[in-house]
Amino acid sequence: MLDILFYVFSAITLIAAVLMVITPNAVNGAMCMIVAFIGTAALFVLLEAYFLAVIQVVVYAGAVMVLFLFIIMLLDVDKGEGATEYKNKLTIGASAIGFLLLAMLVLTAFSGDYLPEPGLTAVTENPEVFDGGVPFTTSSKSFGYSLFTKYMLPFQVAGFLLLAAMIGVIVVSKKHDVAED
């Protein structure tokens, strides 16, 4: 049963993410992104990481995406004459950067030069007994410890991606003045 739910929620998440990228309407893309976030939260529930699932829904699908939707809907994005030329240049640049990042990811994944993973240890009743591994429980303390030690780089990358998304919304919503001849 869990396998079927995993495949269903994975398919929902992937389809919503692909639709988010290929849809031409910004509001529809943001709605697809909310569905992708909720699908990711459902996958966290299947992993019994309830805290992560709630944070995923409250922070990302709730706060950040609602803010993006309000910005997109309230700021009337008016496309001028030069907007398509600017958009084509921006699309080519973003595609090149995305391809380079994908190539770096594939090369890094298959090179074997990744950081060693600390071993997980069982949590004991006596907190003084600790053999150097990361204690693993389903509590938020265990999550916070691993988030700010082992997963610090992905956490920072997610923060920079959100910053880039906010800057992108500002750039897209900014009205460009077209010089009249």
Q: How high is the mean pLDDT of the chain?
A: 76
**pLDDT tens for each residue of 123-139:** 555 555 555 555 556 66
Q: Which domains does the chain have, with CATH numbers?
A: 1-74 (1.20.120.1200)
pTM, rounded to two decimals: 0.51
Q: How far apart are CA 68 and CA 72, in angstroms?
A: 6
pLDDT value for 42:
92
pLDDT band, very low/low/confident/very high, at 7 (cuts 50, 70, 90): very high
pLDDT at position 8 over 70? yes
